[in-house]
Structure 1
Amino acid sequence: MEASTNNGKTVAIIAYITLIGWIVALIMNNKDKTALGSFHVRQALGIMCVGVILSIISGIIDIYILSRVVYLAVLVLWILGLISAAQGEMKPVPVVGEKFQEWFKGI
């Protein structure tokens, strides 16, 4: 049981390390699914999607201060998710974390 717990924590942390890390975490989690790993794979995917969407919007609007606020907000979500993963907790990121669990429940 402990190996599965450690694998879940490893998957959870790797999920936040770039898109490649997320893909590796997804593959690892599919081989040995854990609730913790699945939770953080969904959270990391949601944060990446929000980051891309907000970057596109801020690029279209092209307001310098808006793009800085967007990048800072995504960075804060990423840090909070990574801290939660490192602590082995299933704590959703603020505002949108619960939605990520709903939207990506198939993962």
Structure 2
Amino acid sequence: MTNQTDGKLLALLAYASALFLYLHLVIFLAFLGTFILLNMGRNREFVAFHHRQMFGIGLIAILVNSLANVVPNGWIALLFITGVVMIAAIGFLAAIKNLKTPLPYIGEKFQQWFKFIQ
């Protein structure tokens, strides 16, 4: 048996892609958690409002990502993911405009459910 290392890096990267499959969720939670901690005790309601909105969006994204493998048709999951991105864009635009506008359909619920984010 010979040691064949030509292309070994590409072969290893093929397996590394499986490790990075859920890395985006870990990074999201780490960043959002850091931002929430940085705002704690500062009584900035505008920031807390948008953190609660994004926390809810993140939970929906995690739920959609988890259920995407269960649903037999990938197009349904793609539609939900597109919806999550659109809702996040609406919240982002509201924050740019200095507005505390709740997200359509779910924003008020996020404000009620996630009152622990202050």
1:87 correspondence with 2:93: no
1:51 correspondence with 2:70: no
Number of aligned positions between the proteins: 91
SS at match of 2:54: helix
Provide the TM-score with structure 1 as the length reference. Answer: 0.77
Paired residues of 1:22 and 1:45 also in contact (CA < 8 A): yes
Paired residues of 2:71 and 2:77 also in contact (CA < 8 A): no
Aligned-pair distance for 1:79? Answer: 0.4
SS at match of 1:62: coil
Give me the whole-angstrom Cα distance separating, in 2, the residues matched to 1:20 and 1:89: 25
Paired residues of 1:42 and 1:100 also in contact (CA < 8 A): yes
Alignment-derived partner of residue 9 in structure 1: none
Aligned-pair distance for 1:19? Answer: 3.1
SS at match of 1:78: helix
Alignment-derived partner of residue 113 in structure 2: 103
Paired residues of 1:58 and 1:70 also in contact (CA < 8 A): no
Could you tell me which runs of 5 or more consecutive residues in structure 1 were left unpaired when the two chains were aligned. 1-16
Give me the whole-angstrom Cα distance separating, in 2, the residues matched to 1:51 and 1:87: 24
Match of 2:78 among 68, 74, 78: 68
Provide the TM-score with structure 2 as the length reference. Answer: 0.70
Q: For the aligned residues, what is the CA RMSD?
A: 1.6
Could you tell me which runs of 5 or more consecutive residues in structure 2 were left unpaired when the two chains were aligned. 1-26
Give me the whole-angstrom Cα distance separating, in 2, the residues matched to 1:24 and 1:83: 22
Percent of residue pairs identical? 25
